[in-house]
A and B are shown apart, each in its own frame.
Chain A
Amino acid sequence: MTFFIQNLVNGISLGSLYALIAIGYTMVYGILRLINFAHGDIFMLGAYLAFYGMFFMSNVPWWGAFLLAVIVTGFFGILLERVAYSPLRNEPRINVLISAIGASFLMENLAILIFEGKPKPFPVPPLLDRSVKLGDISFNVIQIVIPVVTALLLVALHLVVNKTKTGMAMRALATDYEAASLMGININLIISATFLIGSLLAAVGGILYACRYPQLLPLMGMMPGIKCFIAAVIGGIGNLMGAVVGGLILGLSEIMIVAFLPSLNDYRDGFAFVILIVILLVKPTGLFGSNVKEKV
């Protein structure tokens, strides 16, 4: 039983990280119908900026460096959209996708060049690095911090999307791009806001990930990026709730399968894809996705 609860804690913590990143994918896809391949690299950038922030500004407390890194990464997300996606907004989708993958490669290769290819140890703030024992279950403080931060951010996101004018405009764009643009919505501004929010969340995710697995690599965003996109697809892409549920499903099943069937450990990176394919075959638009009728 303790073994189960122990893994439940691990799974929820990993799952909420996936959820944070999946939200960025789902928001961008909902509005632009674009798989933002560079999202995983934004995640990587957030972690590296936090690292360098702590490194160069030793007089600033660690949370100050984290906050700064998150904000800078958020604006980088806007820059990414302006440079790589907005010139192609009226183009066939495959061209935009190529540009997205190109942007992703560019960021990865630049990261290899600038941050260097060898892994950097991430200095986890001592406050987050303590291990706590609760009965027989032992965990790291960060494992509790991750779901809590995720939950708080989700509440904030919910408020932004449902209670503000910007959020309403986002929903309008996601529902009907053309009609919304005819209604006088400033498309560029709203799309920038979407990328800002998605990148902020990805940066928070990246920093939390670095605290949990304290090793920075230029390609660290690749696998989490793909998995989180899968999480978004599983939940029904374009649906915020779906992204969270998808992230949790993916995180929990990954931890649980390895915990209870250790012989499958070699196949670990394949799980996400198997889950994805099974769910897509049963429900082609994901768990919470709405069915879109084909128009003739």
Chain B
Amino acid sequence: MKKNKTNFNLLGIALFVVLLIVLQFVHLDDYYRKIVNLSFIYIVLGLSLNLINGFTGLFSLGHYGFMAVGAYTTAILTMPRDAKETYYMLEPCYDWLKAIELPLLPALLIGGLVAAFLGFLISLPVLRLNDDYLAIASMGFAEIILVLIRTQIRLTNGALGLKGVPRTDSYWLFGGVALLMIVFMVLLTTSAKGRALVAIREDEIAARAVGINSFRYKVVSFTIGSFWAGVGGGLMATLIGTVNQVQFTFQLTFNILLIVVLGGMGKIWGNVVAAMLVTFALEIMRFLDEPMGSGFFKNGRPGVRMVVFSLLLMVVVIGRTKLKGGKKRAKA
């Protein structure tokens, strides 16, 4: 049984590598390249939230705050000096910041580390709470982070956001980070530490009774999850080339949460597939928003896409449970 699982993971990783190699030989236009890369980013984000939510059972809704931190850090660190001179329109950028211009990879790493540090600080008070209280408090911290981003104008250019972030669209970068994340999760879940996390999710009191320092594990899990959220945010900044605080809304956490739930809580490969499906579904439905749509659907109006998306989502969530039939009521 255990051997099967190892083989399954290896097979998955191999398939992912093959996918990456195949992508090098397929010619896609810019738009599709972007979607593919976006789905890689969503793999990173989905798995990072799954680590917190699915594996450790901490119901955090604050992911978008950490993504914002990572995105802003990466953007500020990689923006060349003249871009900083041009785009800080409200107030000039700090002088010491202007001088800094890092290559992408170190900037991503630093973005992740800053997010992780914040995640660590926030986790100390927040993880003393349970369930819904944890959810709301983590969301509260994310909102506070965004308020700070909006008001630190010399650092973040406030409401106008940052433009002129150097862009890349290399599959190796986005796919590579996704692969790294997958390998990390596979290694983690097959280790004793990963099983400790699952034990905490299943029954925290029992886990504590067998000598697992549950608070420490929770803090570590939250911090690592925040790190990857920051990296994911940074990747998003390099993919799009702009960062603005309006991108980081509760809706973003929700899209990721959706990936986690559709892919299965605590499931790695389900998550990977769900991340791709949700990204593609969201993009494919864009035609609904276009007034001059093609084919049978000619009367697209802006906003229809999100209506259809929310409808589909509810049908999926409700329909899935109908199919499974009656299950026992979860513990309150």
Q: CB within 8 Å of B: which residues of A?
A: 29, 33, 35, 84, 87-95, 98-99, 101-103, 105-106, 109-110, 112-113, 117, 177-178, 226, 229-230, 233, 237, 266-267, 269-270, 272-274, 276-277, 280-281, 284-285, 294, 296
**Once the chains bind, are B143 and A269 in contact (CB under 8 Å)?**
yes
> CB-CB < 8 A to A109: which residues of B?
303, 306-307, 310
Contact of A284 among B53, B128, B254, B261 (CB under 8 A): B128
Contact of A102 among B136, B310, B327, B332 (CB under 8 A): B310
Given contacts A95-B261, A105-B254, contact A35 B132 (CB under 8 A): yes
> CB-CB < 8 A to A35: which residues of B?
132, 135-136
Q: CB within 8 Å of A: which residues of B?
A: 53, 59, 125-126, 128-133, 135-137, 139-141, 143-144, 147-148, 150-151, 205, 251, 254, 257-258, 261, 265, 301, 303-304, 306-307, 309-311, 313-314, 317-318, 321-322, 326-330, 332
**Once the chains bind, are B330 and A105 in contact (CB under 8 Å)?**
no
Given contacts A88-B321, A99-B318, A277-B141, contact A94 B310 (CB under 8 A): no
Given contacts A87-B322, A95-B261, contact A106 B314 (CB under 8 A): yes
**Once the chains bind, are B133 and A95 in contact (CB under 8 Å)?**
no
Since A230-B140, A273-B141, A277-B137 are in contact, a sample of 11 more A-B pairs with Cβ atoms closer than 8 Å, ordered by chain A residue number, is: A89-B329, A91-B330, A98-B257, A98-B317, A102-B314, A106-B310, A177-B332, A229-B136, A230-B136, A277-B141, A281-B125
> CB-CB < 8 A to B317: which residues of A?
88, 95, 98-99, 102
Give the Cβ gap from B121 to chain A, nearest Cβ, in Å. 12
Give the Cβ gap from B161 to chain A, nearest Cβ, in Å. 16
Please give me the residue from chain A that is nearest to B301 by CB atom: A113
Give the Cβ gap from A268 to chain B, nearest Cβ, in Å. 8
**Once the chains bind, are B303 and A113 in contact (CB under 8 Å)?**
yes
Contact of A270 among B59, B143, B258, B310 (CB under 8 A): B143
Contact of B330 among A93, A101, A269 (CB under 8 A): A93
Give the Cβ gap from B106 to chain A, nearest Cβ, in Å. 31
Given contacts A110-B307, A233-B136, contact A269 B147 (CB under 8 A): yes
| Most interface-central of A35, A99, A277 (chain B CB within 10 A) | A277
**Once the chains bind, are A266 and B135 in contact (CB under 8 Å)?**
no
Given contacts A102-B310, A294-B205, contact A90 B304 (CB under 8 A): no
**Once the chains bind, are B326 and A88 in contact (CB under 8 Å)?**
no
Please give me the residue from chain A that is nearest to B320 by CB atom: A95
**Once the chains bind, are A270 and B144 in contact (CB under 8 Å)?**
yes
Give the Cβ gap from A219 to chain B, nearest Cβ, in Å. 11
Please give me the residue from chain A that is nearest to B54 by CB atom: A94
**Once the chains bind, are A91 and B321 in contact (CB under 8 Å)?**
yes
**Once the chains bind, are A105 and B310 in contact (CB under 8 Å)?**
yes
Given contacts A109-B307, A280-B137, contact A90 B328 (CB under 8 A): yes
Q: Which 5 A-B pairs have the closest CB atoms?
A: A273-B140, A270-B147, A106-B310, A109-B306, A105-B310
Per the bound structure, the CA–CA distance linking A113 and B308 in Å amounts to 11
Give the Cβ gap from A222 to chain B, nearest Cβ, in Å. 8
Per the bound structure, the CA–CA distance linking A109 and B309 in Å amounts to 10
Per the bound structure, the CA–CA distance linking A280 and B130 in Å amounts to 11
Per the bound structure, the CA–CA distance linking A101 and B252 in Å amounts to 12
Per the bound structure, the CA–CA distance linking A177 and B129 in Å amounts to 23
| Most interface-central of A29, A229, A266, A285 (chain B CB within 10 A) | A266
Contact of B261 among A98, A110, A226, A274 (CB under 8 A): A98
